[in-house]
Amino acid sequence: MNKTTKNALIYIDEYDYLLPDERIAKYPLAKRDSSKLLLYKNGHISESQFSNIADFLPENTLLVYNNTRVIQARLVFHKETGARIEVFCLEPLTPADYAQSLGATTECIWKCMVGNLKKWKEGTLSKIVEIEGKSCTFVAEHLNTEGNTHSIRFTWDNADIHFADILEKAGELPIPPYLHRKTEESDLTTYQTVYSKIKGSVAAPTAGLHFTPEVFESLKPKNIELEEVTLHVGAGTFQPVKTRDIAEHHMHTEVIFVHRSTIEHLQQKLGNVIAVGTTSVRTLESLYYIGSQLHSQKGELTNFHVSQWAPYDTHSELSSQDALQSILNYLDANNLTTFHAETQIMIKPGYQFRIVNGIITNFHQPKSTLLLLVSAFIGDNWKEIYDYALKNDFRFLSYGDSSLLMP
């Protein structure tokens, strides 16, 4: 694929399609791996069941999935007037580290979205939270506003209770808004992958929802190896592109963590890497651009952030092997075992993929950055694939069916 610049005109209307509401899966299937699987390989479309995915993955593939876990990030408060205020935790500010913030014992500050803000002009919101015989008064205080997000300080008066405990007890799991229903008890299980473990996302990496222990077992005879990365999915993943030209769209920032051993494994398997979900794609492709920055700055870089337009502003001829080696050199020089960075990467038509050779992914919303990513990977054939899925009873979006894309 040829490089494109960030200024190349790409109109979002070209990435639209008619998605009837009845095609959006409101609930998952009873058995995760009984979902349908669309196969796209070398321009040919066919279909199977997800439980058979091992039959279609090349031998010696490295399958990379996102082990993030969705937190119960939606908090509801009621004012004395009865007004309902909804506070949706997006990412920690103080402490900025997810583990430290979730482990906080009396106070933390988060970037949040606030519903019904006009009813919360001043003062604090509070509620009593009971957790396994322990009790605390949990208080939210509005600090400041930036764009459509707000800095909210949370405090509570019991140091035996962690912020993660409060979210677990008082928070709601934020299922996607397009499901047009409230979170139910079953979502606490079905809206998590079977391998989720690192808390921090406000949305599930939904391509992974189809995997079961039986599917993982079926991969072994083909010597398909596995690696985990962590990207905490932000609420921005639900935001459609609202600008006519995608060059004017502002991508959200997400936090990634990748172990040193995973980067070594990627080096060994370049050319045979299949990403489970667009979050894994964004993580893996971001590694190339961070490695390129490290290489050009002789390892002196300290702020690891992939900007939205880095792939189009960076005309690097560095090999993927060498880019990954630059990250390994940095980790070794600083005696680190895990690489931590932020990415705002925009993957759109014209993007040159550096790490990923195949993608397992669900069917995405019209006019979304996720659909742009799919188009970047398989070109205009996305239209043919989505037409096929619509005509052959595939279920769409988070709880819907899956596809394996190998152009």
Q: Are 65 and 77 contained in the same domain?
A: no
50 lies in the same domain as 101 = no
The number of folded domains in the chain is 2
Residues 130 and 262 in one domain: no
Q: Look up residue 323 and give its two tokens.
A: 């880019």
Please indicate, yes or no, whether residues 136 and 268 belong to a single structural domain of this protein: no
- Domain-located, residue 184: no
Q: Output the pLDDT for position 8.
A: 67
Residue type, 282: R
147, 249: one domain: no
- Nearest 5°: phi and psi at 171? -90, 165
Residue after which a domain boundary falls, among 117, 143, 172: 172
Residue 7 has pLDDT above 60, yes or no: no
Mean residue pLDDT of the chain comes to 93
In a shared domain, residues 60 and 47: yes
Q: Which amino acid is at 103?
A: G
Q: Within a domain: residue 31?
A: yes
Whether 233 and 347 map to the same domain: the answer is yes
Task: Give domain status of residue 7, yes or no.
Answer: no
Q: Are residues 283 and 323 in the same domain?
A: yes
Tell whether 129 and 40 lie within a shared domain: no
Domain contains 132: yes
Question: The pTM is what?
Answer: 0.93
Q: Confirm whether 318 is domain-assigned.
A: yes
Same domain, 40 and 78: no
CATH assignment of the domain containing 389 = 3.40.1780.10
Pairing of strands 84-94, 107-115: antiparallel
Q: Which two tokens stand for residue 402?
A: 């899956």
Q: Which of 146, 172, 198 is the last residue of a domain?
A: 172
- Is the distance from CB of 205 to CB of 280 less than 8 angstroms? yes
Which residues on neighbouring strands pair with residue 146, listed in sequence order? Answer: 149
From 172, 200, 217, give the residue that closes a domain: 172
Residue 44 pLDDT > 80: yes
Q: Is residue 363 part of a domain?
A: yes
Per-residue pLDDT tens digits for 177-233: 899 999 999 999 999 999 999 999 999 999 999 999 999 999 999 999 999 999 999
pLDDT at position 250, please?
86
Angle at 169 between CA 163 and CA 172, to 5 degrees: 100
Residues 165 and 201 occupy one common structural domain: no
Model confidence pLDDT, tens digit, residues 60-112: 999 999 999 999 999 999 998 889 999 999 999 999 999 999 999 999 999 99
pLDDT top residue among 149 and 52: 52
- Could you tell me if 212 and 83 are in contact, meaning their C-beta atoms sit under 8 angstroms apart? no
223-259 residue pLDDT tens: 999 999 999 998 776 677 888 888 888 888 899 999 9
- Spatial distance between the Cα atoms of 267 and 318, rounded to a whole number of angstroms: 14
Percentage of the chain beyond pLDDT 70 is: 97
Is residue 212 situated within a structural domain? yes
Which residue range(s) make up the domain with 381?
A: 12-69+189-406
Residue 388 has φ and ψ, to the nearest 5°, of -60, -45
Residues 379 and 280 grouped into a single domain: yes
**Which has more confidence, 313 or 182?**
182
Is 144 inside a domain boundary? Answer: yes
| In the predicted structure, residue 6 carries a pLDDT above the cut 60 | no
